[in-house]
């Protein structure tokens, strides 16, 4: 069945990038937006799911930075959610980097962070100060590069980033560390958050590393009531402007006519019944990721070289996540809501060569997090253990349906889960005793629910050259088709949101693109002022 959708914009996917575009275009331009979500829950990696005894977990939001008063990220996020999402500041020590012979407690202060590093590594003082300056430079380069990419050709020479800062930002993190520091323990410590940006030092860009480090300079925050509050806040904004979000609507094809995107084919799921619809709209925005958009949703004859470039890009990171429900509060063991990054060595690249060590009971690293200790409204005790693993370990089950993959798969999952628990128990005795329930998510789960290629949690790999790729942009070679979310910007919650802002700016600005940003910021600042006048505070310290 084919029909004009009656909407101004169709957005593929209800991840944070898509939700952001929907909210901003509804508020700023009064557009009727239709968001199509293939899952039965709205939110992408910002959704939550429930299990027995009321246990519930976020699937992708563990903490977010840059939510200090006045910060542009907070101002824009508050505007996109109309101040309905509230955040709780994490403990002052918000991250712990745990190594066999040393634990570093990361403070919610860049100044204190610098002092602690120098006290611990006095022989590297000069290099540490240089590193913190370079982190800011590389972080700033990203914004300069985005402006440059969005400007019309005639204006590009004026804003082109310098060759020196481009080289700094696009070198590998390992290359930067090796030329700056001599202490291998310090090098290992500084990149302990690499799981936040999906690449070990030798495979990821210094720019992405720098952005994550700076993002958490003043600590971390967690959404009160869990990440589902984000979609709950944005959906009414879209509906107020005449828009709608539909779940169980899987887009299978982007329709291109005469080089212009004009609609989408949709597989509509109603129980066991499936029907196909064709919906048309003047603008199509994909929040389905670069790989899915260029390699799966578009026909090969649409005239761009992007599919091969995207297909040949290195695979992103696949992971295991063990969702845990506790009988008692983890506070019993001394946890206060901070995250723990646990490693068995300082050389992360060497460790990554043994990525699938857990299969042979030689687990190398884990990220340990406690959602219930971060959320003051939590009514149950929960935790998560994350480690990384290759997609190939699970490939033989990829054609099987979710929850129908057989006993061998379930037994394998149970073995992996027990080894993850053993790894944490070895560091924190008594951990196993307070566990009441657990469920393991594999790369196949991620692939099923997000359609990310090979279940890559962050989408496209953050390789040193990613920022220079043509596809890393909200514009596509197809007229009226735009990309949004993390693959149009950078990784993570803030990255996906930023991608949504960039896409909005492009939709508002037409040929002048990025020059429409002041309009967005002006509206957001006006709203922020109104919140303050009403005494509404979205962040709880």
* pLDDT value of residue 153: 72
**What is the arrangement of strands in the sheet containing 221-223, beginning at the earlier edge strand?**
221-223, 87-89, 539-540
pLDDT at 175 over 60: yes
pLDDT at 511 over 90: no
* pLDDT value of residue 470: 80
Q: Is 390 exposed, middle or buried (0-12, 13-18, 19+ CB in 10 A)?
A: middle
Report CA-CA distances (Å) from 158 to 149, 289, 437, 469, 504: 12, 31, 58, 20, 24
CA atoms within a 13 Å half-sphere pointing along the CA-CB vector of 98: 18
Q: Where are the beta strands (DSSP E) in 24-127?
A: 33-36, 48-50, 56-58, 87-89, 93-99, 102-107
Q: Where are the domains of the chain?
A: 2-86+224-313+461-540, 128-218
Task: For the chain, give the mean pLDDT.
Answer: 93
> What CATH code is assigned to 2-86+224-313+461-540?
3.50.50.60
Q: How confident is the model at residue 315 (pLDDT cuts 50, 70, 90)?
A: confident
* pLDDT value of residue 173: 97
CB 330 within 8 A of CB 373: yes
Q: How confident is the model at residue 305 (pLDDT cuts 50, 70, 90)?
A: low
In a 3-state reduction of DSSP, which class is residue 112? helix
**Poorest-confidence range of 157-166, 370-379, 420-429, 475-484?**
157-166
Where b means 16+ CB within 10 Å and e means fewer, 271-299 reads eeeeeebebbbbbbbbbbbbbbbbbbbbe
By DSSP bridging, strand 48-50 and strand 539-540 are unpaired
Mean of the pLDDT values across residues 248-255? 96
CA atoms within a 13 Å half-sphere pointing along the CA-CB vector of 335: 28
What is the dihedral sign for C-alpha 357, 360, 365, 367? positive
* pLDDT value of residue 339: 98
Whole-model pTM: value is 0.95
Tokens encoding 468: 């220079």
CB 459 within 8 A of CB 316: yes
Distance of alpha carbon 337 from alpha carbon 246, whole angstroms: 35
Mean of the pLDDT values across residues 424-428? 98
In a 3-state reduction of DSSP, which class is residue 274? strand
Q: What are residue 384's DSSP bridge partners?
A: 323, 369
pLDDT at 1 over 60: no
Mean of the pLDDT values across residues 64-79? 96
CB 193 within 8 A of CB 212: yes
- If you count DSSP H runs as helices and E runs as strands, how many of each does the chain have, helices first? 18, 21
pLDDT at 151 over 80: no
DSSP secondary structure string for all residues of 393-459: GGGGGTTSPTT-SHHHHHHHHHHHHHHHHHHHHHHSTTTGGGEEEEEEE-HHHHHHHH--GGG-TTS
3-state secondary structure 305-346: CHHHHHHCCCCCCCEEEEEEEECCCHHHHCCCCCEEEEECCC
Tokens encoding 318: 């696949």
Q: Is 305 exposed, middle or buried (0-12, 13-18, 19+ CB in 10 A)?
A: exposed
Mean of the pLDDT values across residues 120-126? 98
pLDDT in tens, 52-68: 899 999 999 999 999 99
pLDDT at 32 over 70: yes
**Poorest-confidence range of 78-82, 232-236, 512-516?**
512-516
Q: What angle do CA 90, 91, 93 make, to 5 degrees?
A: 120
Q: How confident is the model at residue 498 (pLDDT cuts 50, 70, 90)?
A: very high
Distance of alpha carbon 190 from alpha carbon 347, whole angstroms: 11
* pLDDT value of residue 97: 98
pLDDT at 308 over 90: no
pLDDT at 236 over 70: yes
CB 179 within 8 A of CB 171: no
């Amino acid at each position: 069945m084919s029909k004009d959708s009656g909407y101004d914009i169709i957005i593929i996917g209800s991840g944070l990038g898509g939700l952001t575009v929907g909210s901003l275009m509804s508020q700023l331009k009064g557009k009727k937006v239709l968001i199509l979500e293939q899952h039965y829950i709205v939110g992408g990696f910002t959704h939550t799911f429930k299990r027995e005894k009321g246990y519930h977990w976020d699937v992708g939001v563990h903490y977010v930075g840059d939510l200090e008063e006045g910060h542009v990220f907070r101002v824009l996020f508050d505007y996109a959610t109309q101040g309905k999402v509230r955040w709780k500041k994490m403990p002052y020590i918000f991250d712990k980097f745990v190594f066999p012979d040393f634990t570093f407690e990361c403070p919610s202060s860049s100044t204190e962070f610098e002092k602690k590093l120098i006290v611990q590594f006095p022989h590297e003082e000069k290099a540490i100060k240089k590193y913190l300056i370079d982190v800011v430079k590389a972080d700033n380069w990203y914004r300069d590069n985005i402006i440059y990419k969005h400007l019309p050709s005639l204006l590009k020479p004026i804003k082109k980033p310098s060759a020196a800062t481009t080289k700094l930002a696009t070198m590998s993190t390992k290359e930067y560390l090796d030329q700056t520091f001599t202490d291998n323990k310090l090098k290992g410590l500084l990149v302990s958050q690499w799981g936040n940006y999906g690449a070990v030092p030798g495979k990821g860009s210094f720019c992405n590393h720098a952005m994550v480090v700076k993002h958490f300079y003043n600590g971390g925050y967690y959404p009160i009531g869990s990440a589902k509050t984000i979609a709950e806040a944005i959906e009414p904004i879209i509906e107020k402007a005449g828009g709608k979000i539909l779940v169980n609507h899987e887009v299978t094809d982007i329709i291109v006519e005469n080089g212009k995107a004009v609609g989408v084919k949709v597989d509509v799921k109603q129980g066991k019944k499936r029907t196909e619809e064709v919906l048309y709209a003047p603008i199509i925005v994909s929040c389905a990721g670069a790989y899915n958009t260029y390699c799966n949703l578009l026909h090969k004859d649409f005239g761009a070289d992007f599919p091969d470039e995207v297909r040949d890009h290195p695979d992103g990171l696949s992971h295991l996540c063990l969702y845990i429900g506790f009988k008692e509060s983890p506070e019993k063991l001394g946890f206060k809501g901070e995250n723990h990054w646990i490693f068995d060595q300082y050389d992360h690249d060497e460790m990554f060569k043994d990525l699938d060590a857990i299969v042979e009971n030689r687990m190398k690293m884990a990220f340990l997090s406690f959602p219930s200790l971060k959320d003051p409204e939590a009514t149950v005790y929960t935790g998560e253990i994350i480690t990384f693993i290759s997609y190939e370990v699970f490939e033989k089950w990829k054609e099987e349906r979710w929850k129908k993959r057989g006993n061998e798969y379930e037994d394998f999952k149970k073995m992996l889960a027990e080894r993850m628990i053993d790894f944490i128990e070895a560091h924190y005795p008594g951990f196993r005793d307070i566990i009441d329930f657990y469920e393991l998510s594999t790369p196949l789960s991620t692939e099923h629910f997000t359609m990310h290629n090979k279940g890559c949690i962050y989408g496209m790999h953050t390789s040193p050259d990613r920022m220079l790729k043509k596809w890393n942009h909200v514009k596509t070679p197809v007229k009226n088709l735009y990309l949004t979310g993390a693959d149009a910007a950078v990784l993570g919650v803030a990255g996906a949101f930023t991608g949504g802002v960039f896409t909005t700016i492009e939709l508002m600005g037409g040929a002048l693109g990025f020059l429409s940003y002041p309009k967005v910021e002006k509206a957001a600042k006006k709203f922020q002022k109104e919140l303050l006048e009403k005494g509404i505070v979205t962040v709880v310290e």
